[in-house]
Amino acid sequence: MTTIRTILAIATSKGWPLHQMDVKNAFLHGDLKEEIFMSPPPCMFSSPSTDITMSMGSDSQFIEKLQQQLKSSFHMKDFESLQYFLGLKIQHCPTGTILHQHKYTQELLTLVGLQDSNSVLTPMEVNLKLRQEGGDLLSDPSLYRQLVGSLNYLTITRPDISFAVQQVSQFMQAPCQAHLAAVRRLLRYLKGTSGRGLFFPSSTSLQLVGFSDADWASCVDTRLSIPGWCMFLGGALISWKSKKQARVSKSSIESEYRAMSAACSEMIWLWVGRHEISLPHISTENQPADVFTKALSRHRHQLMIDKLMLLDRPTSI
């Protein structure tokens, strides 16, 4: 998904058209010996089973030639302009492109009967510390696991829920009532922000900039630190992470160095051409990675959303 977001960011910045094609019955073109199950499990929703391709670039003749070559080898359907890709909605506006999962969010809320519930302004309560022992165990944890799995997929376009999803993902084996309550609050947050998505601005630079942060020893069960980092290509957010560190850090500076190391590894993977990474200090007030390390107050959460370039989908287009 980082590659897909990077492609969208580059195409939008350079004003390149995005073209979409679909290979009909793509699974019939492969030589498979394994047993294939075509029906999804009960209580799960998914998009139709298709193999979508997208193309972009400044050379329109080359793209047209490539499309003709694909059509000569496969039975393909031409969708012209890219609109849906792997369940993600791509909407174009005069100032850029918005990538969102509004339809998917609405289906998820309907699944749990929260489509008419009251919304909240933050995905998680400030200073809430979830523990392994969070009260009575759920008699049937299947719904909890299904919801957390669905929320993980939603983080493709919703970095603002990454920390909350990381927190509730820790208790898949034995979820308790407190864990389910945290999931339901997160869903109520999505109720009021279902149309929110990533904005990729047009005519922006393609400079790669990253931010990293860490909340030292914040896990109450293990005392592991929770780092977070995010990467911007120009003004577009293309990559981020919120995940507990594997080892206990003896000091806050150690946890910060570990977070910085992970962020630098991601930057190298994202094609740092000059092999140079500068490390300036970023104040807490201007640190967008803060939203990946802890639950924030309403005011600060909204500030971080603005910095992450999260916008509501255009409804008039």
Residue 180 lies in a domain: yes
Here the tokens at position 235 are 């003004």
Based on the domain organization, do 209 and 244 belong to the same domain? yes
Based on the domain organization, do 207 and 302 belong to the same domain? yes
Q: How confident is the model at residue 10 (pLDDT cuts 50, 70, 90)?
A: very high
Task: Considering only the C-alpha atoms of the chain, give the largest distance between any 2 of them, rounded to a whole number of Å.
Answer: 63
Indicate whether 47 pLDDT > 60.
no
pLDDT, mean of residues 115-141: 90
Based on the domain organization, do 135 and 59 belong to the same domain? no
Residue 216 lies in a domain: yes
Task: Give the count of domains, the chain.
Answer: 3
pLDDT, mean of residues 169-176: 94
pLDDT of residue 43: 47
Q: How confident is the model at residue 27 (pLDDT cuts 50, 70, 90)?
A: low
Residue 304 lies in a domain: yes
Based on the domain organization, do 151 and 179 belong to the same domain? yes
pLDDT in tens, 237-269: 999 999 999 999 999 999 999 999 999 999 988
**Lowest-confidence pick of 106-120, 139-153, 274-288:** 274-288
Average pLDDT, the chain: 87
pLDDT of residue 57: 64
Residue 63 lies in a domain: yes
Residue 132 lies in a domain: yes
Q: How confident is the model at residue 317 (pLDDT cuts 50, 70, 90)?
A: very low
pLDDT top residue among 147 and 273: 147
Q: How confident is the model at residue 45 (pLDDT cuts 50, 70, 90)?
A: very low
**Domain CATH for 303:** 3.30.160
Based on the domain organization, do 303 and 214 belong to the same domain? yes
Based on the domain organization, do 8 and 93 belong to the same domain? yes
pLDDT in tens, 100-125: 999 999 999 999 999 888 999 999 99
Q: How confident is the model at residue 41 (pLDDT cuts 50, 70, 90)?
A: low
Based on the domain organization, do 124 and 156 belong to the same domain? yes
- Residue after which a domain boundary falls, among 171, 191, 211: 191
pLDDT of residue 30: 66
pLDDT, mean of residues 68-94: 81
- Residue after which a domain boundary falls, among 139, 164, 191: 191
Indicate whether 50 pLDDT > 60.
no
Based on the domain organization, do 139 and 221 belong to the same domain? no
Residue 164 lies in a domain: yes
pLDDT of residue 240: 96
Q: How confident is the model at residue 226 (pLDDT cuts 50, 70, 90)?
A: very high
Based on the domain organization, do 229 and 153 belong to the same domain? no
Based on the domain organization, do 160 and 230 belong to the same domain? no
* pTM attached to this predicted model: 0.84
pLDDT of residue 46: 47
Residue 22 lies in a domain: yes
HEC per residue, 55-111: EECCCHHHHHHHHHHHHHHCCEEEEEECCEECCEEEEEECCEEEEECHHHHHHHHHH
pLDDT of residue 204: 85
Based on the domain organization, do 78 and 111 belong to the same domain? no
Where in the sequence is the domain holding 293, given as residue range(s)? 202-273+283-312
- Residue after which a domain boundary falls, among 50, 85, 100: 100
Residue 126 lies in a domain: yes
pLDDT top residue among 18 and 275: 18
Based on the domain organization, do 134 and 153 belong to the same domain? yes
